């Protein structure tokens, strides 16, 4: 076993340890080292500066995910490492692992994981700002906190931010009504911290005790149900129409077919398909393979004579299901294969004893899914002011800047869609 106390080896270790004060000890790990697997450092918080540095802690992260009061498939080890390795900005992400106080023998338990980006000059603000990480494929950013330890973990993370002179901490896109939200409200209230909400929206969700037939009859108008049945019957007249669901047992075959189907559509023409970008493709392939190894990959497909018409890649987390990417054959667009697939998923969720709910992960007011999935999940984004004198004014400024940018983006999106519609009408003429 390596003697890490020897001076010649000490200076080569990718670890720098510091005790910021008598109450909170912190270790920063830039990369993994072989000795860490046998003798990891002990501290209140361990900051990991790369995907490689996560390696010695994968088992602890998986255990934390299983014991967390809230689910977040994107912060689980298999997904987080893939994002840090392949997505834009991933190399700058830091992961703060928060541990319990040392017990007998110095043992500790992981109680919180906070992936974050440290920024300076965010919206022109000349002060340090931390943001829980969200990327181009993010659909939820609720931190993973061990049930029963949420407040302890959050207090330590905010204390770390204060010690680093952070003016404001952004917690984006977390589940309203979650254990994290309750802990956030209690901790910030007790510490008299200024908190500003920057976004709140709802998205389509399934959480019901109804059977598939009861759900459809209750939440979808009879006229619409007849139309969907007509589309299904018309497709059935063209060949053998089938719907399948599995755990990605042939994950390599699934990846090949899904990427090809997506690239054949409008995303491929615009150059935004996963298959077109090597990094995006590597990320998608890695999270699917990682989820499949853990039994968390969920694949649903609508096919005609063995040819894929629509495919949906989803991930299980706890007793829930997060839908992630859908692709469909645009040659059959008039039959709405994507809609038919999402309708069939209702029956899958209602009939699977392992699944209590499904999150569409869709944008608010989605024109398709909002009309067939009846329940809603509320999502929030907030800024929490640092304890310094500039924390409150900095957070007020950032709140205004973030909301203003969101309004501008919404207006530009409206203009863009109107322009596209006009162009399509011109082509039709």
**Residue 320: other Cβ atoms inside 10 A:** 21
Rounded to whole angstroms, the Cα distance separating 29 from 47 reads: 6
- pLDDT: is 32 or 378 the higher one? 378
Rounded to whole angstroms, the Cα distance separating 115 from 97 reads: 9
DSSP state of 100: P
Is-contact 288 297, C-beta < 8 A? Answer: yes
- Please determine, for residue 394, whether its predicted confidence score (pLDDT) is greater than 60: yes
**Residue 212: other Cβ atoms inside 10 A:** 16
- Please determine, for residue 7, whether its predicted confidence score (pLDDT) is greater than 60: no
- Please determine, for residue 150, whether its predicted confidence score (pLDDT) is greater than 90: yes
233-265 burial by CB neighbour count: b if 16+ within 10 A, else e? eebeeeeebebebeebeebeebbebbbebbbbb
Mean pLDDT for 157-163 is: 97
- Please determine, for residue 10, whether its predicted confidence score (pLDDT) is greater than 50: no
pLDDT band at 422 (very low <50, low <70, confident <90, very high): low
- Please determine, for residue 237, whether its predicted confidence score (pLDDT) is greater than 80: yes
Report the chain's mean pLDDT, rounded to a whole number. 90
Alpha helices in 117-221 (DSSP H): 150-163, 179-190, 212-219
Mean pLDDT for 26-45 is: 82
The pTM of this model reads 0.90
Instruction: Output the CA angle 146-24-399, nearest 5 degrees.
Output: 70
- Here the tokens at position 311 are 């495919």
Q: What are phi and psi of 203, to 5 degrees?
A: -140, 160
3-state class of 227 per DSSP? helix
Domain spans in the chain, listed from the N-terminal domain onward: 7-203+379-413, 208-355
Q: Is 85 exposed, middle or buried (0-12, 13-18, 19+ CB in 10 A)?
A: middle
- Here the tokens at position 345 are 């998923």
pLDDT digits over 321-336, tens only? 999 999 999 999 999 9
pLDDT band at 221 (very low <50, low <70, confident <90, very high): very high
Q: What are phi and psi of 409, to 5 degrees?
A: -60, -40
- Here the tokens at position 301 are 């497909």
* 357: alpha, beta or left? (left if phi > 0; alpha if psi -120 to 50): beta
Instruction: Provide the pLDDT for residue 105.
Output: 74
Fold topology of 208-355: Aminopeptidase (3.40.630)
pLDDT digits over 363-377, tens only? 999 999 999 999 999
């Amino acid at each position: 076993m390596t003697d890490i106390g020897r001076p010649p080896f000490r200076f080569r270790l990718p670890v720098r340890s510091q005790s910021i004060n008598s109450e909170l000890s912190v270790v920063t790990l830039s990369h993994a080292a072989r000795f860490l697997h046998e003798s990891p450092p002990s501290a209140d918080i361990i900051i990991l500066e790369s995907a490689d540095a996560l390696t010695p802690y994968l088992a602890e992260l998986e255990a934390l995910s299983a014991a967390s009061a809230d689910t977040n498939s994107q912060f689980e080890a298999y997904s987080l490492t893939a994002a840090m390795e392949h997505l834009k900005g991933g190399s700058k992400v830091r992961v703060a692992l928060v541990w319990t106080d040392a017990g007998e023998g110095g043992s500790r338990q992981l109680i919180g994981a906070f992936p974050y980006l440290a920024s300076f000059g965010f919206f022109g603000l000349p002060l340090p700002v931390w943001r829980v990480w969200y990327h181009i494929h993010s659909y939820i950013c609720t931190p993973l906190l061990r049930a029963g330890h949420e407040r302890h973990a959050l207090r330590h993370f905010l204390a770390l931010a204060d010690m680093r002179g952070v003016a404001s901490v952004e917690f984006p896109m977390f589940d309203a009504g979650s254990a994290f939200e309750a802990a956030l409200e209690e901790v910030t209230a007790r510490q008299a911290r200024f908190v500003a909400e920057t976004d709140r929206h709802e998205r389509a969700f399934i959480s019901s005790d109804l059977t598939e037939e009861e759900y459809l009859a209750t939440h979808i108008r009879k006229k619409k149900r007849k139309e969907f049945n007509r589309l299904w019957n018309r497709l059935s007249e063209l060949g053998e129409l089938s719907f399948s669901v599995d755990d990605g047992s042939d994950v390599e075959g699934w990846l090949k077919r899904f990427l090809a189907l997506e690239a054949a559509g409008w995303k491929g023409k615009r150059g935004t398909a996963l298959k077109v970008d090597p990094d995006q493709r590597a990320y998608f392939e890695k999270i699917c393979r990682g989820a499949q190894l853990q039994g968390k990959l969920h694949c649903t497909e609508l096919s005609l004579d063995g040819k894929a018409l629509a495919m949906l890649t989803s991930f299980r987390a706890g007793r829930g299901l997060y839908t992630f990417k859908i692709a469909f054959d645009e040659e059959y667009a008039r039959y709405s294969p994507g809609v038919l697939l999402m309708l069939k998923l209702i029956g899958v969720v209602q009939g699977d004893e392992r699944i209590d709910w499904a999150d569409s992960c869709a944008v608010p007011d989605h024109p398709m899914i909002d009309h067939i999935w009846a329940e809603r999940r509320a999502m929030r984004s907030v800024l929490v002011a640092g304890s310094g004198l500039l924390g409150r004014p900095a957070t007020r400024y950032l709140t205004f800047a973030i909301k203003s940018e969101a309004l501008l983006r919404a207006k530009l999106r409206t203009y863009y869609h109107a322009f596209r519609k006009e162009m399509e009408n011109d082509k039709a003429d």
